[in-house]
Amino acid sequence: MEMDFFVPVNEELLPEGGNLLASSLQINILGRSFPDLDGVKVAIFGVLEDRLDENRSGEPFDFTQIRREFYGLFPGNWHLQVADLGDIEKGETVEDTFFAVQAAVSQCLKKGIIPVLLGGSQDLLYAQYRAYDGVEDMVNLVNIDSRFDLGDADRPISNRSYVGRIVVTKPYNLFNYSNLGYQTYFNSQDEIELMDRLFFDAYRLGEVSGDITVVEPVMRDANLVGVDLHAIGGGALGNYRLKSPNGFDGKEICALSRYAGISDKVSSFGIFEFGAEFNFPAAHMLVAQMLWYFIEGVNFRKNENTISAKKEFIRYQVPIDDEVLVFFKSPVSGRWWIEIPFISPANNKLKRHSLLPCTEGDYLDACNQMIPERWYKTKRKNEI
């Protein structure tokens, strides 16, 4: 399939010098087809769409400065190829843009390439998610955001309601939605209660900042990850005029990006809500470093999501009341999983989610007769 809706990267952005990250990038040419990307593991592209932003300023934006900073970074000890496919410009309609994004992400997934999106408004995450139709039976979505973005699914989709549209629109591919870093005062009690009723995961900003390792298992179980730049504090982005001073700092958002990269299951990653309000040198550099840390994580994946790797796991059984919880530990990485029991032979969700990533703390809690909350929520979802 010819991906002729890409506008190629301006090669004048490429710095000279063999030690720079740009020297390891493959820059596309207009009309290049995805089969020509053999050997590429990560493909970056921008999407210049923001028409569904509820607070849209109308000011133009692009990713030129982000690319300039990204290309100027030194590569890590990487053994993978990265490509920059250029940008998808606004279609005649937003639906046209969604179609292009969905097609691009889908083609990447089918080729075993991890697409990394730089986007305008976060409703583009809906198109990223829809790319999994026919590729994955059930999908886990993780969103790093100060808001849940559930919205009113009966109203037109926007950057504040795309998650609600995902939940109610066929085909129903969503198995779990996890929000990392929500701030309570930005979310109604109705939405907070709805997250609980749907057995979705939600972690407050303070909880994650207090111990960022608590969300590593959540990221390890994700298929696609989205980041809303408004989840980052204004100071870290170099813009103290942003409405909210609270949010993740630069170190925390880079750590979360690396968690996404190192997850064996994450097959697409998006950074959204970039616009004129983030047109500051610190914001350009921070997004560039988020890209760098995601790729760093991909390079150091353990490939523990395979049958052969799981055969080497160490098995632990913990009786709690009428349950026997079964834990597994990787002898290679030291990471933990907990088994989700089959409820019914007719329920095919569990075939996709029989091992749930967890922490050693979950195992120790179980030994003290406390059932892990994520295990309970996942089990309940499969009973419905």
The whole-angstrom separation of Cα 63 and Cα 275 is 9
203 has which bridge partners?
180
Pick from 383, 361, 384, 380: nearest CA to 372: 361
Does 57 share its domain with 122? yes
Look up the CATH number of the domain holding residue 190. Answer: 3.40.800.10
Do 98 and 197 belong to one domain? yes
Listed range (76-85, 92-101, 237-246, 287-296) with the worst mean pLDDT: 237-246
In a shared domain, residues 252 and 332: no
Do 214 and 348 belong together in one domain? no
pLDDT tens digits, 235-288:
888 876 666 789 999 999 999 999 999 999 999 999 999 988 888 899 999 999
Whether 34 is covered by a domain: the verdict is: yes
Q: Does some domain include residue 1?
A: no
The reply to whether 199 falls in a domain is: yes
- Does residue 307 or residue 127 have the better pLDDT? 127
Going edge to edge, which strands form the sheet with 336-339? Answer: 314-320, 323-329, 336-339, 355-358
- Label residue 73 by pLDDT band (50, 70, 90): confident
Q: Do residues 81 and 24 touch, judged by C-beta distance below 8 A?
A: yes
Taking the C-alpha atoms of residue 118 and residue 70, their distance in angstroms, rounded to an integer, is: 12
Does residue 192 carry a pLDDT above 80? yes
Range of the structural domain that residue 347 is part of:
307-383
Total tally of structural domains belonging to the chain: 2
Q: What is the pLDDT of residues 124-149, one digit of tens each?
A: 999 999 999 989 889 999 999 999 99
Nearest Cα to Cα of residue 60 among 239, 228, 276: 276
| End-to-end CA gap in the chain | 40
pTM confidence score: 0.92
Question: How far is it, in rounded angstroms, from Cα 310 to Cα 18?
Answer: 40
Handedness of CA 69, 253, 180, 145 (dihedral sign): negative
For 302, the 3-state DSSP assignment is coil
The arithmetic mean of pLDDT across residues 310-322, rounded, is 93
What span, in angstroms and rounded, lies between the C-alpha atoms of 278 and 121? 13
Mean per-residue pLDDT over the chain, rounded: 89
Count of residues making up the chain = 384
Asked whether residue 229 falls in the same domain as residue 188, the answer is yes
